[in-house]
Amino acid sequence: MNFQAITERFKNMMQQKTTRPSTASQPPESFAFYHQIRQLSQEPWTYEDPELQDVAMSILPLEKLFEDATKREKDGNGSWGYQDYLIQSLLSWFKQEFFSWVNSPKCESCQSDTHLIGACRPNTEESFQGCNNVEVYQCNGCSRQQRFPRYNKVRPLLFSRTGRCGEWACCFTFLCRALGSRARWVWNAEDHVWTEVYSFKQNRWVHVDSCEESFDQPLIYEQGWGKKMSYCIGFSIDSVRDVSSRYIRDPENGNPRNRCPEIVIEHTIKSLNEEFRSALSEYDRSKLLDEDRREKEELISYRTREDLSSSALPARQTGSEDWKRERGEGGN
């Protein structure tokens, strides 16, 4: 992995003048959504820090992961490649051994349950580590108050190893990159995030959700969780893609796409892709354009066919029952 080239490409991208879509007649919501997409597109670049990659290599149980991937490949039917099996091995280890889910933290003093009482600003150290919000909990036993900083940067998560959807997806997507996979961080407008990895064996992007230990189950949200969605957008260091139709097969039962006109989204994604690829060779740009065309055909095909799962998809595993109901993820 040529980190110097990646860094140089990022610098060039940031120095370019941003071309904005014509929004003269658009409502303020269009401006907000436009800027939100551009801001979200910076997330994958935080995974390209070579020093952070070295930290990941010192943490990952590489021998165990490689052995497990080799066994999966040997026992498989040939439909997946070795790198795909390596991501499956990483997924199992990440879910079962590395990261933990937090509904509310245990009291640090007496280990009793706690309940949320509010939020506060991060302190200087928390802000430096990439924390934007701190949840405040009170112990049900000793009444002690306790802070729970919500980090959205990889470095602190490699050591805290706990959180909810955002922390899980951030850390897992980074580790996919550390293992050499092309990876996307996928943002959903209804407050969920997950990962996609590119399978060279199948020549397509594959859904992965580390919270649920779910691999190649893109319909798990709509059909398993009963989640209503509007936008799902994938971000990597060389592409941005509206992948909504991969996950939303029944738009009439989903949430309306009314954050901005479709042309604004299309223009924003097009301009971001041009920026991200501006420093690439003509050969690499050509390969990515071919990939874009294949994926576009794949995504369009989902709109014109019934693609219901032949077996029941699981309801959401992570989160308390009340929390899942509040988010509309309690299952069908």
Active site residues: 165, 192, 209
**Residues 184 and 175 sit within 8 Å (Cβ to Cβ):** no
Q: How far apart (Å, rounded) are the C-alpha atoms in residues 108 and 156?
A: 19
User: What are the two backbone dihedrals, phi and then psi, of residue 194, each rounded to the nearest 5 degrees?
Assistant: -155, -165
**Residues 218 and 246 sit within 8 Å (Cβ to Cβ):** yes
Single out the residue of 185, 179, 242, 233 nearest to residue 208, CA to CA: 185
Residues 6+ apart with CB under 8 A from 101: 162, 163, 164, 168, 211, 318, 319
Q: CA geometry: angle at 12 spanning 6 and 16, to 5°? A: 145
Kindly state the helix (H) or strand (E) to which residue 288 belongs, with its residue range: helix 282-301
Neighbouring C-alpha atoms within 13 Å toward the C-beta of 115: 5
Q: How far apart (Å, rounded) are the C-alpha atoms in residues 64 and 62?
A: 5
Q: How far apart (Å, rounded) are the C-alpha atoms in residues 187 and 193?
A: 5
Q: How far apart (Å, rounded) are the C-alpha atoms in residues 26 and 39?
A: 20
Q: How far apart (Å, rounded) are the C-alpha atoms in residues 99 and 211?
A: 9
Q: What is the DSSP string of 158-216?
A: HHH-EESHHHHHHHHHHHHHHTT--EEEEEETTTEEEEEEEETTTTEEEEEETTTTEES
Length of the chain: 332
Give the number of other Cβ atoms within 10 Å of residue 76's Cβ: 14
